[in-house]
Amino acid sequence: MTTTIRTRFAPSPTGALHLGNARTAALNWLYARKYKGTFVLRLEDTDIERNLQGDGSRPSGEELIIEALDWLGLHPDEAPSTGGPFGPYRQSERANHYANQAEQLLASGHAFRCYCSPEELDAHRKEAIAIGDPPGRDTKCRDRSPEEKTLTQAKGQPASIRLRVESGPVYFEDQLKGGLSIDGDDLGDMILVRSDGRATYNFAATVDDYEMKISHVIRGIGHLSNTPKQMLLYRAFGVQPPQFIHIPTVMASGGGKLSKRAGATSLLTYRDRGYHPDAVLNYLSLLSWSSKSGEEFFEREALIEEVDLDRIGATDTEIDEDKMAWLSGQHVRSEPATTLVDHWSAFLDHTNFNMNRDDLTRSAEVFAHRTRLFSDAQSELETIFGEPTLESEETQVILGTREAKIAIDQLHTTWQEVDWQAKTLGATARDAAENTTMSKGQFFSAIRIAMTGERKGPELGDIAYALGKERTLSRLKHALDKIHHNDGREII
């Protein structure tokens, strides 16, 4: 028997995704992709109060989630906006499904109507906790006689629907933790449908996972305590539960909680800071999971191939932005220049320099290894492509020697004849350095300053290649003029 793999990511649209949520989404997506299954996005928006509404200027919680998933490349096969065979995919639109299932549980005797008010229930719970009893169990409504029921119902009093939970062990299995058991007394008669008719989380989630034929529920370990409740529901429905995989919590760096309200941890913040999305996906997968080989750098396809739920650890993890940035650098380096420039473009402000797409592509070829985040490109390119001023005293001292001027002049001549490739340019520059009376260091400093105005920076061949022949030669020429001009005296 082969089961079709169907995973789901089911966030509530209360705000942007953070790294923890994203990690859950990533694992679900990766797993579905690996086994040619289906990845479902479902919105758990039954708590209207907390849903983040959008308006003309602000995106809604739903839009924010889609945007984040999209950035990471985690495209759902079935989703609220695109639909699918088991829709709708917003819980707010599935009220009739929950009502139907609740009716059936009522009919089969698994559930009962409760006429207690929230206040009464609350008071009862506090009392139970105070005397050390398990809360959540009160028998007032649970065992009413049929006559009494019809009588009360006739009065039209608002009622919630609760599950009849018996004492005794509730056993369930987690793929990572093995078999777990909890006593029904510790669970209580959970409320399935509120007195206003809306389904509660555990009921809605279970009905949905069941009706949407979810095969693997991969979710945060915070849901471990919900699992026995959901188990009871599967039992009541008379169906096989899905495979449960509870993954450890992702904590903020330093050990604090990751909060949807802490703006700094929003996934989109990392996008805006210039992290490579493939690196973030790669990094997220490395949280509590490790490959058999110990390898840590994985491109998208390799990650799908490698991911293995059985190699997920048990301990909570902290975010390490340094490592994520390092990984970003690794992914940047493996990105072809032609596509890297598209990523860079979003972060470039050309105010202080001019360059066209060809300039950009050549720069990506030779400077990519100097960057980690896409946003690093700005300062990198600005110092190369911005017009050098050559005004500083240091610059004048270095360029103002007879040797420097000869060196620049000679290289200007040599480079007119060479094939304009980074390697060739570098090689001819090194040759030229041999033929001067200057030290190598002095020589290269002088040339770099003539070209960019900076002493430090990329290799000369790379700079020349990126700038292009015309611009390079004109800068060298300009530097010669500038020295002459500023000095006010003939050097040669």
Q: For residue 328, what are the CA distances in angstroms to 208, 322, 381?
A: 37, 10, 19
Q: Which residues of 351-373 are buried (b: 16+ CB within 10 A; e: fewer)?
A: eebebeeebbbbbbbbbbeebbb
Site size toward RNA, by CB under 7 A: 85
Taking the CB of residue 166, how many other CB atoms lie within 10 A of it?
Answer: 10
Closest distance of CB 75 from RNA, Å: 22
Tell which one of 100, 150, 225, 410 touches RNA (CB under 7 A). 225
Of the two residues 182 and 473, which places its CB atom closer to RNA in the complex? Answer: 182
User: In this chain, which of 95, 99, 106, 224 binds RNA, going by CB under 7 A?
Assistant: 224
Cis check for the bond before 248: say yes or no (omega within 30 of 0). Answer: no
- Cβ-based nearer residue to RNA, 36 or 456: 456
Q: Which of 290, 361, 424, 486 binds RNA (CB under 7 A)?
A: 290
Contact 216, 246 (CB under 8 A): no
**DSSP-derived 3-state class of residue 161:** strand
Stretch that binds RNA, among 124-132, 401-409, 410-418, 484-492 (CB under 7 A): 124-132
Among 70, 93, 103, 122, indicate the residue that binds RNA (CB under 7 A).
122
Who's near 212: CB < 8 A, 6+ residues apart?
6, 8, 40, 42, 78, 86
Q: Which of 6, 7, 12, 278 binds RNA (CB under 7 A)?
A: 12
Q: Taking the complex as a whole, how short is the minimal distance between the CB of residue 458 and RNA, in angstroms?
A: 6
Tell me whether residue 228 or residue 277 sits nearer to RNA (CB atom).
Answer: 228
The nearer residue to RNA, 333 or 484, going by C-beta atoms, is 333
> Pick from 63, 296, 382, 403: which binds RNA (CB under 7 A)?
296
Among 112, 237, 444, 465, binds RNA (CB under 7 A): 444
Q: What burial class does residue 401 get, using C-beta atoms within 10 Å of its C-beta: 0-12 exposed, 13-18 middle, 19+ buried?
A: middle
Which among 28-36, 146-154, 285-293, 481-489 is the span making contact with RNA, rule CB under 7 A? 285-293
Contacts (CB under 7 A) with RNA, residues 163-182:
177, 180, 182
Task: Annotate each residue in 319-358 with x if it binds RNA (CB under 7 A) or - if it does not, as one string.
Answer: -x-xx--x--xx----------------------------
Amino acid of residue 308:
D
Which of 4, 108, 117, 167 touches RNA by CB under 7 A?
117
With CB under 7 A as the contact rule, the residue among 121, 341, 399, 449 that binds RNA is: 121
Which listed range, 98-106, 218-226, 342-350, 474-482, lies at the site for RNA (CB under 7 A)?
A: 218-226
Find residue 169's DSSP bridge partners.
183
300 scored as a contact of RNA (CB under 7 A) = no
**CA angle in degrees (0–180, nearest 5) for 322-324-327:** 110
Q: Considering only residues 180-209, where is the footprint of RNA by CB under 7 A? A: 180, 182, 186, 188, 190-191, 194-196, 198, 200-202
Neighbours of 49 (CB within 10 A): 5
C-alpha dist (Å) from residue 491 to 401, 403, 408, 413: 8, 10, 13, 18
Buried b (16+ CB within 10 A) or exposed e, 216-238: bbbbebebbebbbbbbbbbebbe
Residue 76 is a binding residue for RNA (CB under 7 A)? no
Is the Cα dihedral 353, 358, 359, 363 positive or negative? Answer: positive
Spatial neighbors of 451 by CB under 8 A, at least 6 apart, are 388, 460, 463, 464, 467, 472, 475, 476, 479
For residues 336 and 334, give the distance between their C-alpha atoms in angstroms, rounded to a whole number.
Answer: 6
- Nearest-approach distance from CB 359 to RNA, in angstroms: 19
Whether the Cβ atoms of residue 388 and residue 475 lie closer than 8 Å to each other: yes
Angle formed by the axes of helices 357-367 and 460-467, nearest 10°: 160
Binds RNA by CB under 7 A, chosen from 2, 57, 315, 356: 315
Which one of residues 160, 282, 378, 428 is an interface residue with RNA (CB under 7 A)? 160
> Is 78 strand, coil or helix?
strand
Helix (H) or strand (E) holding 246: strand 243-247
Query: Is 438 near RNA (CB under 7 A)?
Result: no
Select from 28-36, 43-51, 164-172, 385-393 the region that touches RNA (CB under 7 A). 43-51
Binder to RNA among 87, 134, 386, 468 (CB under 7 A)?
134
Neighbours of 123 (CB within 10 A): 12
CB 242 within 8 A of CB 5: no
By CB under 7 A, tell whether 484 contacts RNA. no
- Of 34, 36, 149, 260, catalytic: 260
Helix 469-487 to helix 460-467 angle (10° resolution) is 110
Shortest reach from residue 490's CB to RNA, in Å: 28
Does 456 qualify as catalytic in the annotation? Answer: no
Per-residue binding string, RNA, 366-405, x by CB under 7 A, is ---xx-----------------------------------
Residues from 227 through 256 that contact RNA (CB under 7 A): 248-249, 251, 253, 255
- Smallest distance from RNA to CB 489, Å: 28
Q: Which residue lies nearer to RNA by CB, 357 or 423?
A: 423
User: What would the two tokens of residue 339 be?
Assistant: 């596509």
> Which residues form the catalytic set?
260
